[in-house]
Amino acid sequence: MSTAPSAGPITATGTPSERNIDGQAIAITVFSTVKWWGRAFLPVLFNVTKRTPKLTTTIVQLSFIHFARWSLVTKIPYNGAPQPKQRLRYPHMYFESNFNGGWEEYIDAFSHILTSGMAAFWGSSYGFPKALPVGPFKAYIKENEIANSHYYSAYPEATITMVKAALDLDDKLAPLRRSAKGMQPDAFARAYEKMLTDAQRSL
């Protein structure tokens, strides 16, 4: 059961819609209709995942992913006259993520590296073909993906790796910045060289 038009955010060449791109960052949003038993199962899964960080270690280690979130939608809130409050007949899985790189490579990573995780999260959705082989899984994502109405990235030209490196460098620079005013030139030079050595991987 599809919840989005198949011609949405992925073009005929397999590239994301321009509305899903801001510089280096690409957004993906997927809605899928959940079977009756998923209404009870998914909240338990989300809670277990939240309380057990090691279950999400692999996805955190994928350096091209800004974030990924799964939610269960059971009703649509009131949003003015055009959109009255509505309780959905079937719950829907709402998946959103931001990443760097190609759409194809992103789905490949989910399929091959997070195979069991994809089965856990999407296994209760209608039409889920399993994460492997990857071809049917990509077709499933394309069928249920929607384009954003608006997408904004605070640092559009920076990848998540660049942002993490900048934050790490700032942490290493902070102690030197605090003590620099009271240091003699020679002491500052030694401290600066040490900071550069410690921060090599972030430069």
Report the 3 state secondary structure along 10-30: ECCCCCECHHHEECCEEEEEE
In three-state secondary structure terms, 72 is strand
Beta strand ranges found along 64-111 (DSSP E): 65-76, 86-100
The confidence band for 11, taking pLDDT boundaries of 50, 70 and 90, is: low
Instruction: Indicate the range of 11-15, 115-119, 160-164, 170-174 predicted with least confidence.
Output: 11-15
Residue that has been written with the tokens 């009131």 in this structure: 78
φ and ψ at residue 67, rounded to 5 degrees? -165, 165
Residue 105 token pair: 């490579």
The confidence band for 54, taking pLDDT boundaries of 50, 70 and 90, is: confident
| Pair 29, 98: CB distance under 8 Å | no
Alpha-helical runs (H) found in 17-114? 38-51, 57-61, 103-113
Rounded to an integer, what distance in angstroms lies between the CA atom of residue 201 and that of residue 203? 6
Share of the chain above pLDDT 90, in %: 36
So what's the pLDDT on residue 9?
A: 58
Of 99, 75, 186, 82, the closest CA to residue 151 belongs to: 99
DSSP conformation class of 79: -
In the chain, what are the domains? 18-144 (3.30.70), 160-202 (no CATH)
Share of the chain above pLDDT 70, in %: 92
Name the most confidently modeled range: 5-14, 60-69, 118-127, 146-155: 118-127
pLDDT for residue 8 is more than 80: no
φ and ψ at residue 70, rounded to 5 degrees? -110, 135
Cross-strand pairs, 22:
25
Strands 25-33 and 21-22: antiparallel
Rounded to an integer, what distance in angstroms lies between the CA atom of residue 59 and that of residue 74? 26
Rounded to an integer, what distance in angstroms lies between the CA atom of residue 21 and that of residue 16? 7
